[in-house]
């Protein structure tokens, strides 16, 4: 009896459930201002393609003058939308990221700052782009950094732990090797890290097994040479057997092993190596610039618009607590304060890029002066203003010249 009622219930419930599931997969017709779409329906089933176009002065919020959106599980693959022609859609920049607009597009005049992925840097130090009349000006390019490293070297009887495979590593990156079972670096330890410094990896481990520390391939994991030893000028042996020590000395100073830089002119002078940037405290600031990338071993800067980057590409911290040389931002523009020129229309300070020019409005002497302007040019940081003139003045001058030539 119970099974009879259960079967009746399933017959009634299943069609309703299937109908509800089918309705959930449908998409409602989009609300498309300044545009039109086909086919026109109230609802669209799953996988239905909707094609749309926009009226004059508008364009789709994706590439092209017409667009297509697909109903996927109750939502459109992208929301059909028409934006102003002077607006910009998100740019595609390889190996980079930037702040995405909440609306999915950018208004004219909007400036975005590009951040390159790890291991890449801005080509020609261009880090920003501006939306001008529907297109992006001077889109930045992220190219491989000269200080980045390729994949770490293969070490017999060892694997890299803690991260997935990648073929490019940023400067300052650390990877850790771990020896396989039965192998060690020095008879005790099985793990060792190597670092990417100036495009090269510091020395990695040598995993030896069975006969003692580091004997599988000869030598130790750090410093020395295979099976040898190091000695000072006085004949003292700081290490012997399989591997030696981490430094070699010959009476004129020491040499650090494992990358980095050092300076020494005598045996008692302190070695200067690169250290994590936290060791140097407050990050140095530069006028008209800002820090755009912070890593464990270095800082990167970029200059504001109208300024050119001059100096080292990265700033590092030395082991003595001092910073390396910092870059500077050189002005590549001229400024004109229109309030200081009687002949110019007072409109605040105007900026002109070096090597470029622009027209500034002049004060009109009477109602007959039309398009009255001064041509302003910036050359090597120096400004030059032409006398105020208008197209009417130019036309009159041309007519006078022509008339005199005819006469």
pLDDT tens, position by position, 19-57:
555 556 899 988 888 888 889 888 999 989 999 999 888
d(CA 240, CA 255): 18
- Which tokens sit at 343? 């002949």
- In this predicted structure, the answer to whether residue 218 has a pLDDT above a threshold of 60 is no
Domain boundary (84, 107, 136) is at 84
Domain presence at residue 286: yes
Q: What is the pLDDT of residue 176?
A: 92
Residue 361 in domain = yes
The answer as to whether 209 is a domain residue is yes
Beta-carbon neighbour count of residue 384 at 10 Å? 11
Task: Choose the final residue of a domain: 330, 347, 368.
Answer: 330
Residue 40's domain comprises 21-84
C-alpha dist (Å) from residue 217 to 152, 212, 332, 379: 19, 11, 57, 64
Residue 214 binned pLDDT confidence (cut-offs 50, 70, 90): very low
Note the pLDDT of residue 289.
Answer: 86
- Select from 137, 84, 80 the least CA-distant residue to 114: 137
Could you tell me if 338 and 401 lie in one domain?
yes
CATH code at 195? 2.10.70
The answer as to whether 391 is a domain residue is: yes
pLDDT(267) > 50: no
Residue 117's pLDDT is: 92
Same domain, 106 and 137: yes
* pLDDT computed for residue 126 by the predictor: 86
Beta-carbon count within 10 A of 120 CB:
20
User: What is the reported pTM?
Assistant: 0.43
Answer yes or no: is pLDDT of 255 > 70. no
Any domain includes 261: no
Q: What does the pLDDT average to over 352-360?
A: 83
Among 192, 215, 187, smallest CA distance to 204 is for: 192
Give me the residue label for tokens 């060690």: 184
- Does the pLDDT of residue 171 top 90, yes or no? no
pLDDT of residue 261: 40
For residue 325, being part of any structural domain is answered with: yes
Check whether 122 has a pLDDT greater than 80.
yes
CB 162 within 8 A of CB 140: no
Instruction: State mean pLDDT over 278-288.
Output: 89
SS3 label, residue 59: strand
Averaged pLDDT of the chain = 75
pLDDT in tens, 272-281: 688 899 889 8
Q: Which helix (H) or strand (E) holds 393?
A: helix 391-406
Q: How many domains, in total, are found in the chain?
A: 5
Q: Give the Cα separation of 2 and 7 in Å (integer).
A: 9
Q: Same structural domain for residues 349 and 397?
A: yes
Together in a domain, 344 and 402: yes
Same domain, 285 and 316: yes
Percent helix / strand / coil, the chain, rounded to 5? 10, 35, 55
Percentage of the chain modeled with pLDDT above 70: 72
DSSP assigned state of 129: E
Average pLDDT of span 127-140: 89
Name the strands in the sheet holding 111-113, side by side, starting at the edge strand that comes first in the sequence.
111-113, 128-132, 135-137
Is 270 inside any structural domain?
no
100 inside domain: yes
Whether residue 37 contacts residue 76, with contact meaning beta carbons closer than 8 Å, is answered with no
Which residue in this structure is represented by tokens 């030395």?
318
Considering the domain architecture, whether residues 37 and 74 belong to the same structural domain is answered as: yes
User: Of 221, 242, 266, which residue constitutes the final position of a domain?
Assistant: 221
pLDDT of amino acid 322: 92
308 and 283 share one domain: yes
The per-residue DSSP string of 329-389 comes to EEE-EEEEEGGG-TTB----EEEEETT-EEEEEBPPSSTT--S-EEEEEEETTEEEEPPPB
Same domain (yes/no): 77, 107: no
Q: How far is CA 204 from CA 90, 160, 188, 328, in A?
A: 43, 11, 16, 36
Tokens coding 92? 């595609």
Are residues 96 and 120 in contact, defined by beta-carbon separation less than 8 angstroms?
Answer: yes
Least confident among 14-28, 49-63, 286-300, 383-397:
14-28
């Amino acid at each position: 009896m119970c099974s009879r009622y259960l079967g009746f219930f399933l017959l009634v419930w299943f069609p309703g459930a299937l109908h509800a599931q089918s309705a959930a997969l449908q998409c409602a017709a989009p609300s498309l201002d300044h545009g039109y779409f086909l086919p026109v329906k109230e609802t669209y089933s799953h996988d239905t393609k909707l094609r749309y176009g926009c009226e004059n002065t508008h364009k789709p919020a994706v590439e092209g003058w017409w667009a297509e959106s697909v109903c996927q599980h109750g939502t459109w693959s992208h929301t059909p939308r028409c934006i102003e022609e002077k607006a910009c859609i998100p740019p595609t920049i390889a190996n980079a990221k930037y702040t995405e607009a909440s609306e999915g597009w950018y208004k004219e005049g909007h400036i975005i700052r590009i951040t390159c992925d790890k291991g890449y840097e801005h080509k020609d130090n261009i880090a920003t782009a501006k939306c001008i009349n529907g297109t992006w000006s001077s889109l930045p390019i992220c190219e491989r950094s000269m200080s980045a490293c390729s994949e770490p070297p293969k070490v017999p009887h060892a694997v890299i732990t803690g991260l997935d495979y990648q073929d490019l590593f940023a400067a300052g990156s650390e990877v850790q090797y771990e020896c396989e079972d039965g192998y060690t670096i020095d008879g005790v330890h099985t793990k060792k890290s190597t670092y990417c410094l100036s495009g090269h990896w510091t020395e990695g481990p040598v995993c030896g097994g069975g006969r003692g520390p580091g004997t599988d391939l000869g030598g130790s994991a750090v410093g020395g040479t295979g099976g040898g030893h190091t000695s000072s000028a006085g004949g003292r042996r700081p290490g012997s057997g399989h591997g030696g020590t981490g430094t070699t000395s010959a009476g004129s100073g020491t040499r650090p092993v494992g990358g980095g830089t050092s300076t020494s002119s005598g045996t008692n002078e302190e070695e200067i190596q690169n250290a994590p940037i936290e060791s140097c405290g407050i990050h140095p600031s530069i006028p008209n610039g800002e820090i755009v990338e912070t890593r464990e071993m270095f800082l990167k800067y970029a200059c504001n618009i109208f300024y050119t980057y001059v100096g080292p590409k990265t700033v590092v911290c030395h082991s003595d607590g001092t910073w390396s040389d910092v870059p500077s931002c050189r002005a590549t523009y001229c400024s004109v304060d229109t309030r200081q020129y009687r002949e110019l229309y007072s409109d605040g300070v105007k900026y002109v890029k070096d090597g470029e020019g622009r027209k500034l409005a002049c004060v009109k002497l009477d109602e007959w002066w039309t398009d009255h302007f001064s041509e302003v040019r910036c050359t090597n940081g120096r400004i030059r203003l032409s006398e105020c003139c208008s197209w009417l003045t130019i036309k009159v001058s041309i007519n006078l010249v022509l008339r005199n030539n005819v006469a």
